[in-house]
Structure 1
Amino acid sequence: MNDIIRTHATHGTAAVELGPHAPKPTALTEGLTEVSASTWSNGRIDTGLWECTPGDFTAERNGYTEICTILSGRVTIEVEGQQPEEFGPGDVMVMPSGWKGVWRVHEPLRKHYTVIDD
């Protein structure tokens, strides 16, 4: 059967409170913080909401692929050897396992993410 399993409603995700921010470990900008909340997981796939304050940070996707949709804010993603790309509300990004880059967050950013372990 293909029934929908509703474990957590995320309607109006821009208004969902995720809790207190914490310093981002890979921040290049002093004071940059982040917070996330998983809404569903089955051990191999995890999905939820994430947000971060403006600034720059490095990121790598080792051992997993991430698919995310920007809900609010703007970010420029820089990957070595490629042109920087800007993303905003409604844009979808796929960062496959092995991806490495720099996020330049221009304004408070919120995304919906789905992580799939290799």
Structure 2
Amino acid sequence: MIDLQTFADLASVPLGAFADKPTSLTQGQTEASAVLWTSEEGRTKIGVWECTPGRFTADRSAAGEYCYILSGRATVTNADGSGSRDIGPGDLLVLPQGWTGEWVIHEHMRKLFVLSADPAL
């Protein structure tokens, strides 16, 4: 049976332990996350992520990402420098599958994320 699910109080969902961010360009930058839901075929995941201030590269070649910012501030820039957005609490950021770029976290950030992979891309 397919059933609905709800997740409350995303600002305080417990996360895993903080660990070094692998794509960080800033020494000591750490992140933690918790996956709340995964689709049956594994192409869609919903979760909560936190990251400490710093700068890192991001590659969305395998899956697009939708980010709803719960707390903190960042600047997200396309890899070719063609566009940049400042984001903060209440903002929704869309990173289409195939996007690459850079994040600069200005304030400790927490976001809700949805990763969605289109196998045709």
TM-score using structure 1 length:
0.90
Q: In the TM superposition, what whole-angstrom CA distance separates every residue of 1:50-102 from its partner, at most 9, and x where no partner exists? A: 11000000001012111110000000011123242100011001111110111
Question: 1:51 is matched with which residue?
Answer: 50
Q: How does 1:68-87 map to 2 (within 5 A)?
A: 68-79=67-78, 80-87=80-87
Moved more, 34-43 or 12-21: 12-21
Contact 2:26 2:54 (8 Å CA) reproduced: yes
Question: 1:111 is matched with which residue?
Answer: 111
TM-score using structure 2 length:
0.88
Q: Separation in 2 of the partners of 1:10 and 1:105?
A: 25
Paired residues in the alignment total 114
Q: Separation in 2 of the partners of 1:4 and 1:88?
A: 32
Question: 2:14 is matched with which residue?
Answer: 17
Query: RMSD across aligned C-alpha pairs, in angstroms?
Result: 1.4
Q: CA deviation at 1:20?
A: 1.1
What residue ranges of structure 1 are gaps of 5+ in the alignment?
Answer: none
